[in-house]
Amino acid sequence: MSNSTRPVLPHDVRIIDTTLRDGSHAMAHRFTETQVRETVRALDAAGIEWIEVSHGDGVGGSSFNYGFSGTDETTLVAAAREEARQARIAVLLVPGIGTVDDLKRAHDAGAEMVRVATHCTEADVSPQHFAAARELGMETAGFLMMAHKTDPEYLAKQARIMVDAGCHAPYVTDSAGALLMHEAKARFEALVAEVGDEAYVGYHGHQNLAFGVANSVIAQEVGVKYIDGSLCALGAGAGNSPTEVLAAVFSRLGIDTGLDAGLLLDAAEEVVRPYLPRWPKMDRNAIVQGWSGVYSSFLLHAERAAERYKVPAHAILRRCGELGYVGGQEDMIIDVALALAEEQAA
């Protein structure tokens, strides 16, 4: 029996902004405190209810394998909390990368929601983290990452594990931006049917095959209530569904988000765009990720390996897809690059 008492939502759909977390991948985890403060102020003014702030791989992610943070994440969470007037701060936690102690530190710094992220078939590693979060009084969500790699029915069973552990909102998490519209819809419907009135369902999309916004519309139509976005699409791979576009599209559809689309457009253009090191885009590398079902955060790792070993990044990503690598196996990218370099030299 679930112990998840879902929160009351004031609007038709809750758009959660992940510029300052998923965007960390595109920023090589180099967000400054000033950038975080300015972005939070702009998102808060536009009505965003929840702003996710942490290393791209979640609390505790600053490491050799995933990339060191330019500024300690607890400092960034605390800065975000200071700037928010009505918005609240969320963090990501990937079991095996982040720990309960990392979660407690984030909570002490001002985080009030945790999104616990597991591979789509490994929800059974999440219960202790949901339990810890609920003991801290935090809201909870659960990311079933790489959701294209299992069928809708099994994904729903994994969502059930999370909800029974205290998750307020299990997510269809399209980490590779690989889900076509009918594939996404089937997964949304399966999760909505499974959790019923016990919890909400969420969707986190990437733009590698350009379906992030379209799948968000489908998600809302079938009852998904939490939808993620990032300003300027700032995120791994080709980026996330752009928050400003989501707000504009839902406004056109007459869906109440509680957001000011004009202020979000201002935030994207005047606050985020000036500090972008690169504009997330659907180039060859990102499209290969969606086409081959490769974890979006592999992009910069593959591009660095490509430069070092003189092999094409898209070839590295394609091979990673063939080998079925998933999040947490970023260190294997070097092995792929070395193998391709040897093949190239032969």
Radius of gyration of the chain (CA): 18
Catalytic pick among 25, 55, 148, 301: 25
- The pair of structure tokens assigned to 337 is 């690059």
d(CA 117, CA 140): 11
CA distances from 145 to 160, 252, 297 (A): 15, 30, 12
- Write down the residue that tokens 């007037």 correspond to: 85
CA distances from 165 to 9, 82, 275 (A): 21, 31, 39
User: 150-157: long-range contacts at Cβ-Cβ below 8 A with a sequence spacing of 24 or more?
Assistant: 150/120, 150/121, 152/186, 152/187, 152/189, 152/190, 152/191, 153/190, 154/121, 155/120, 155/187, 155/190, 155/191, 156/190, 156/191, 156/193, 156/194, 157/194
CB atoms under 10 Å from CB of 16, counted, come to 24
Q: Is 204 annotated as a binding residue?
A: yes
CB atoms under 10 Å from CB of 49, counted, come to 21
Q: Is 203 annotated as a binding residue?
A: no
- Reading phi first (left if > 0) and then psi (alpha if -120 to 50, else beta), residue 293 is in left
Q: Is 22 annotated as a binding residue?
A: yes
Residue 29: active-site member: no
Q: Where are the beta strands (DSSP E) in 193-295?
A: 202-204, 226-229
Q: Are 17 and 205 within 8 A, CB to CB? A: no
- The pair of structure tokens assigned to 331 is 């260190």
Q: Is 252 annotated as a binding residue?
A: no
Q: Is 182 annotated as a binding residue?
A: no
CA distances from 299 to 165, 251, 336, 338 (A): 33, 32, 14, 17
Give the catalytic positions in this structure.
Answer: 25
Would you list which residues are annotated within the binding site for substrate? 21-22, 175, 204, 295
Would you list which residues are annotated within the binding site for Mn(2+)? 22, 204, 206
